[in-house]
């Protein structure tokens, strides 16, 4: 049985002081969670978050990582830096990084490999636009994204990471894939992983749904056999809503 994982992607929200307040409110609400719980605040809030999370069952995640260990990469953060800050998970290849900051399948792969080398767990994001979905190209696109993202990894490494399927057309739009659509595409991704790394690896890897999961639809989505959790955006900034998703 795969243990579900609910991760909150705070995006560019929350100052350090706000981070402390949100986490202190969240901790008692998810203390008895039956799933893994992760929060991913902005980089400048990671030290504050680490201190606030101490002794809780909530893991700390980051929103991005660079592939080089150090160097002239202004504005970037290395995996070693994140590890020393107490980070255990890192989001890689989010659709917003791809859309606004030139992220490619190649750089997603390099970032994920760097994260693994430093002992971090990558949350590797894949997903299609509305145009691709309506033209029937979803499977071809997410297969290509997944194959490139996982290139050069061992079956053991793949089994231990997290994949987040995020239909881009359902992020921040209020539109949500039906639970059948989400389950179908995640099931397809699992078959892609089986082709790459074997059936045992595919059965072990956790695949989240990242398309506007919220307190109202979390239970319905999480009932589906292929969906192993959620990568939560806006709802993760509201402790009561995020806790409701965690307890789905």
CA dist list (Å): 84 to 38, 88, 102, 149, 223: 17, 10, 27, 25, 37
Please tell me which residue in 66, 128, 166, 248 is annotated as part of the active site. Answer: 166
Is position 94 annotated as part of the catalytic site? yes
Is position 66 annotated as part of the catalytic site? no
Answer for the pair 89, 99: CB distance below 8 angstroms, yes or no: no
Question: Rounded to an integer, what distance in angstroms lies between the CA atom of residue 179 and that of residue 15?
Answer: 34
Please tell me which residue in 66, 94, 103, 128 is annotated as part of the active site. Answer: 94
Tokens standing for 181? Answer: 């659509």
Residues annotated catalytic, as ranges: 94, 166
């Amino acid at each position: 049985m795969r243990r579900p994982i609910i991760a909150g992607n705070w995006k560019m929200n929350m100052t350090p002081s706000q981070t402390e307040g949100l986490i202190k409110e969240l901790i008692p609400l998810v203390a008895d969670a039956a799933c893994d719980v992760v929060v991913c605040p902005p980089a400048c809030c990671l030290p504050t978050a680490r201190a606030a999370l101490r002794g809780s069952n909530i893991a700390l995640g980051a929103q991005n990582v660079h592939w080089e260990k150090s160097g002239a990469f202004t504005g970037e953060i290395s995996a070693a830096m994140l590890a020393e800050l107490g980070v255990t998970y890192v989001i890689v290849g989010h659709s917003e990084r791809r859309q606004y900051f030139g992220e490619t399948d190649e750089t997603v792969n390099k970032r994920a490999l760097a994260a693994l080398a430093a002992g971090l767990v990558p949350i590797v994001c894949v997903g299609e636009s509305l145009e691709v979905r309506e033209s029937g190209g979803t499977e071809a696109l997410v297969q290509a994204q997944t194959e490139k993202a996982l290139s050069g990894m061992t079956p053991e490494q793949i089994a231990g990471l997290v994949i987040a399927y995020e239909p881009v057309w359902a992020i921040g739009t209020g539109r949500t894939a039906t639970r059948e659509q989400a389950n179908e595409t995640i099931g397809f991704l699992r078959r892609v992983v089986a082709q790459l790394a074997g059936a045992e690896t595919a059965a072990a890897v956790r695949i989240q749904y990242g398309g506007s999961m919220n307190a109202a639809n979390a239970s319905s989505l999480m009932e589906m056999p292929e969906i192993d959790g959620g990568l939560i955006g806006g709802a993760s900034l509201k402790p009561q809503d995020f806790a409701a998703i965690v307890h789905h």
